[in-house]
């Protein structure tokens, strides 16, 4: 069984709760949605559709070469859960080797997550706001995804753009609170809007969400500022 993988590399995590830790990134190719602000267009096939087809053995070998002293393996994309059959074997093998698995997912595919959850340690779950992504809403999928993800360590990221609507931010916060108000909720300002007043928008949203949730943080993509991928 092979997987479509864009790249395997070592860097620091640039988003969310674990920003700054060293990880080996396995970036899977392909996605089931096309966010307006997607910052990894190569992983969803914008422009050239270029990727490697790697066997389980080859993918594990590449990770092992890079892994020493890493915090975890970041399974990312695109949307990695589209390749769940490969991931089931891949994550299980990594766990047998004692490696920690960090899944970065768009929160729309609860079924595949359910099949993998035992071999996932940390889940960075996106809630995709339709006003920001310019895609359809996924509220039902997000609710079911969080239900599964809450069996392990999970935190939620919401990308905030200048198009984001307050009612959607509040709906996302209430969705998370319905499971556990102590789940970390991260407002991630869209990098391309940094000079347009997006931080001020996030500060306002933080105040609103803090009335619903215990831990609401504003965290930009730090790797962008450090010129890292």
Domains of the chain: 2-225 (3.20.20.70)
Predicted local confidence at residue 211, as pLDDT: 98
Assign 3-state DSSP to the chain and report helix, strand, coil percentages, each to 5: 40, 25, 35
* Model confidence at 44: pLDDT above 80: no
**Residue 160 to residue 220: CA distance in whole angstroms:** 10
Residue 69 token pair: 């002293």
At 171-219, the pLDDT tens digits run: 999 999 999 999 999 999 998 888 899 999 999 999 999 999 999 999 9
Torsion on CA atoms 158, 160, 161, 164, rounded to nearest 10: 90
pLDDT tens-digit map of 74-101 = 999 999 999 999 999 999 999 999 999 9
Distance CA 150, CA 80 (A): 19
Residues in the chain: 229
Mean pLDDT of the chain: 94
191 class by beta-carbon count within 10 Å (0-12 exposed, 13-18 middle, 19+ buried): middle
Give first-to-last CA distance, the chain, whole Å. Answer: 28
Confidence of residue 47 (pLDDT cuts 50, 70, 90): low
User: Can you tell me the mean pLDDT for 219-229?
Assistant: 83
Q: What is the pLDDT of residue 46?
A: 64
């Amino acid at each position: 069984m092979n997987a479509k993988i864009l790249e395997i590399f070592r860097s620091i995590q640039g988003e969310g709760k674990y920003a700054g830790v060293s990880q080996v990134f396995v970036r899977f190719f392909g996605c089931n949605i096309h966010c307006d602000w997607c910052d990894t267009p190569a992983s969803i096939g914008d422009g050239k559709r270029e990727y490697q087809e790697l066997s389980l053995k080859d993918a594990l070998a590449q990770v092992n070469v890079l892994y020493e002293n890493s915090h975890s393996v970041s399974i990312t994309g695109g949307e990695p859960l589209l390749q769940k059959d490969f991931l089931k074997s891949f994550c299980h093998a990594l766990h047998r080797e004692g490696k920690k698995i960090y899944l970065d997912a768009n929160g729309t595919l609860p079924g595949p997550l359910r099949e993998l959850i035992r071999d996932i340690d940390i889940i960075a779950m996106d809630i995709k706001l339709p006003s920001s992504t310019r895609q359809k809403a996924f509220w039902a999928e997000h609710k079911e995804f969080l239900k599964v993800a809450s069996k392990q360590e999970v935190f939620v990221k919401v990308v905030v753009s200048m198009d984001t609507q307050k009612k959607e931010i509040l709906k996302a916060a209430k969705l998370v609170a319905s499971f556990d108000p102590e789940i970390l909720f991260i407002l991630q300002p869209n990098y391309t809007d940094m000079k347009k007043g997006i931080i001020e928008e996030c500060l306002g949203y933080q105040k609103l969400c803090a009335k619903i949730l215990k831990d609401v943080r504003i965290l930009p993509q730090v790797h962008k500022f450090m010129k890292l991928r």
